[in-house]
Amino acid sequence: MEKYHWNVKTWRSIINSFACTSFENLVDYDTPRDSGTKRQLKAAERTKTFYEQLFEQDEKVHGERILALGGGFQKYYRRKCAVDIGLNEDVAGYSVEFHEFVEGKETDEEEMKELLAETFSPLSPSKLRMVSGPFNPKMVVFLVAQGIDIFDNSFAIKLTETGHAFCLADDFPTNSNFEVVDFNDADKYADDWTAPFENCTCYTCTNYKKGYLQHLLNTKELLASILLVMLVFAGIFGYLPYA
């Protein structure tokens, strides 16, 4: 694996070269649950230094600032990070590092609620709040209730890249259940000529059958992932009117 030297100066130059409309500060990655106090303190100090260096006097960074806030599993460090760098008025919004809580990891809603409260309580309630990473629809509903406004599409991409499709319940978000079809067993849907989801009106469900999608996936046709992404995005964007 090739290693790159990475610092705030490089980051600033990338933001400016790409003329980004918004950007995040560098943050020492979400520290894992078993991190000791020494590691936590180092992460907090490093994040603060990264932030200060990014906006050093005479240095221009173009675009709206989205403050990336970490702090791992300890409430004290969540709050510290928010206070250390979050109180600046000149920010468009906040992005909370929550990688230890994404799809596939063990999550505890009460714990997430408390950590988010530590991050947000000292900050302006009127600014955008986002999290990035694959969160399933149930988790998205939970996070919206905690005040998160923006999510990325990585859950959809993760599902389709691993040969899955999903469909939200008809009464989403009142009911946050969702159904997943797993195409990874090469024979499972080989002779199934029903739509992926019978009640779904998306392009994929109205024009293609499970057996054909299974064939496309088995033969690694590019069309397979295109059709799955269309299906999953239709499911996700379909509920936007409820937002």
Note the residues at the interface with Zn ion (CB under 5 A).
200, 202, 205, 231
Nearer to Zn ion, 44 or 205 (CB): 205
Nearer to Zn ion, 42 or 215 (CB): 215
Token pair belonging to 145: 């209730």
Q: Which amino acid is at 203?
A: Y
Residue 208, phi then psi, degrees to nearest 5? -130, 155
Nearer to Zn ion, 125 or 241 (CB): 241
Nearer to Zn ion, 69 or 227 (CB): 227
Q: What's the sign of the alpha-carbon dihedral 24, 30, 36, 39?
A: negative
Nearer to Zn ion, 202 or 213 (CB): 202
Shortest CB 90 distance to Zn ion, Å = 43
Residue 94, phi then psi, degrees to nearest 5? -125, 145
- Strands 178-182 and 164-168, bridge-based pairing: antiparallel
Shortest CB 218 distance to Zn ion, Å = 20
Shortest CB 212 distance to Zn ion, Å = 14
Interatomic CA distance for residues 52 and 47, integer angstroms: 9
Shortest CB 230 distance to Zn ion, Å = 8
Interatomic CA distance for residues 8 and 61, integer angstroms: 11
Closest CA to 197 of 158, 165, 238: 165
Shortest CB 182 distance to Zn ion, Å = 16
Contact status, residue 120 vs residue 86, Cβ threshold 8 Å: no
